Amino acid sequence: MTRSPTPSPSSPTLNPDDKIPKIPIEIIAEEEMALIEAAFSAAAALPATQFHRNSRSIRSITLLSKRGISACTATGSPDIEDSGRVVGPGSPQKNKKHRVFKPFLHQFRRGRGLSVTDITGTEWCEKQMEFILLRGKPKKTKAMKAGSARHVVLEEEVIKRVKVHAQSAEDVWALKFINFIVGANQLLFDGLTRELPLMGFVEGVWMVGIIDEIRMPVSESKRFPILVDTKTRVQAKLPGEPQRRNGRLQLMCYKYMWDSLVADKFPSQKFFDFFSLNPNHILSPEIRENTAKSGFPSETLNDVIRYFGNSCCLLAPAHDRLLLRYELQEDNSLLGEDEFAYEPDWVKDQIKSCLEFWLGKRKATYPPTDERWKCRFCKFASVCPVNPNPNSSPSKTE
């Protein structure tokens, strides 16, 4: 069975005449492990979500994996890019006799790395992020569930799911890299891919994320991939500047990671050491069988990463113009687009500022006075010292 994606409107700067090609898809994938954006080191026996993208220009079938279940985090339910960490060497352990302060990065992201949503959540409100880490993430609202459902629909236009069980942490990570390899092939041959996992070493820490959509212009002589993110809105209006700023930060983080991957050699040994992985671990028979069918037979995680590096060499840096799309949840109609330029110095400063919080270099800060309206939507407002009206209930929509 094949499906063709519905082209999203493109902005003038991004060549409005470019048409997104129809992409036939053949499904093969695995079990959905969590919401949408990055399981990068799940517990050894957990099943990993996997997808297959079958480009018409590529005869072989390749598997694609998605985020994993958050097995043992203190943040409660997994976020769009969140996943469980591997319990084992390098994972934090509780000391029952003595409580020694550890930075949040080491307490809660030791075996998985920071997700891009960790960065954007910290930029939104550091105190709220602190509450989430220490008290657990609140239940998803109706609007949040609708947003996740919309992303699943967009994803299934170019990806179909199949169940494949990962038997080790090495298997889980191998699926992530396989996802990238297949998505990169789909982008190069068909001009469009969605839900592409990223992983990289950024500003001294490992960071992971999943890009909503990547388009390849067809009318430019030198083609630079265009990164796109779709946001859904409950109200039929565009968001205010703080939300737009947060969305821009997310896309700029993706470009920063993407450009680093295509420009630099992936630090594989540093990756193996940080996540306590055995590069020579034999992958599960199911994964080895699928990689062979896909055209890049791999026995070990190290084999997969070599193919991953080869894929990165074929890619160009992302376009300097990034695109945020805003849709109305009610009918998926387009409310508007925010096309903006990449600001490398600004995004680096934002990441460094967030890392000061995650590395325990300073206490959590609060939003500036003119952005304290955010408290109306915060589930922790009743216990937050800065909230002027602690007895009020949080609003349900933005």
pLDDT average, residue stretch 39-45: 34
The answer to whether residue 240 is domain-embedded is yes
165/145 Cα distance (integer angstroms): 26
Q: Which residue has the higher pLDDT, 58 or 227?
A: 227
Which structure tokens are listed for 370?
């003119």
Q: How far is CA 374 from CA 260, 371, 395, 396, in A?
A: 33, 6, 10, 12
**What is the phi/psi pair of residue 64, to 5°?**
-135, 135
The answer to whether residue 150 is domain-embedded is yes
Q: Which residue has the higher pLDDT, 3 or 136?
A: 136
The answer to whether residue 232 is domain-embedded is yes
Q: Name the residue among 192, 157, 285, 211 with its Cα closest to residue 36.
A: 211
- Report the predicted TM-score, pTM, of the whole model to 2 decimal places: 0.75
- Looking at residue 160, its pLDDT comes to 67
**What is the phi/psi pair of residue 232, to 5°?**
-105, 145
Q: Which amino acid is at 4?
A: S
The answer to whether residue 119 is domain-embedded is yes
Looking at every residue in the chain, the average pLDDT score rounds to: 77
Q: How far is CA 140 from CA 84, 126, 393, in A?
A: 18, 19, 16
Total domains in the chain come to 1
Within 10 angstroms of residue 192's Cβ, the number of other Cβ atoms is: 21
239/244 Cα distance (integer angstroms): 6
pLDDT average, residue stretch 294-304: 94
The answer to whether residue 370 is domain-embedded is no
Instruction: Give the model's confidence band at 64: pLDDT under 50 very low, under 70 low, under 90 confident, else very high.
Output: very low
Residue 116 has pLDDT above 80, yes or no: yes
The answer to whether residue 109 is domain-embedded is yes
Residue 282 has pLDDT above 70, yes or no: yes
The answer to whether 282 and 302 are in contact (CB under 8 A) is: no
The answer to whether 225 and 90 are in contact (CB under 8 A) is: no
Note down the domain range covering 170.
12-92+99-365
- Looking at residue 388, its pLDDT comes to 65
Within 10 angstroms of residue 291's Cβ, the number of other Cβ atoms is: 23
The answer to whether residue 373 is domain-embedded is no
The answer to whether residue 371 is domain-embedded is no
In tens, the pLDDT along 310-327 reads 999 999 999 999 999 999
pLDDT average, residue stretch 18-28: 35
- Looking at residue 29, its pLDDT comes to 33
The proportion of the chain whose per-residue pLDDT surpasses 90, expressed as a percent, equals: 57
Instruction: Say which DSSP state 41 is in.
Output: S
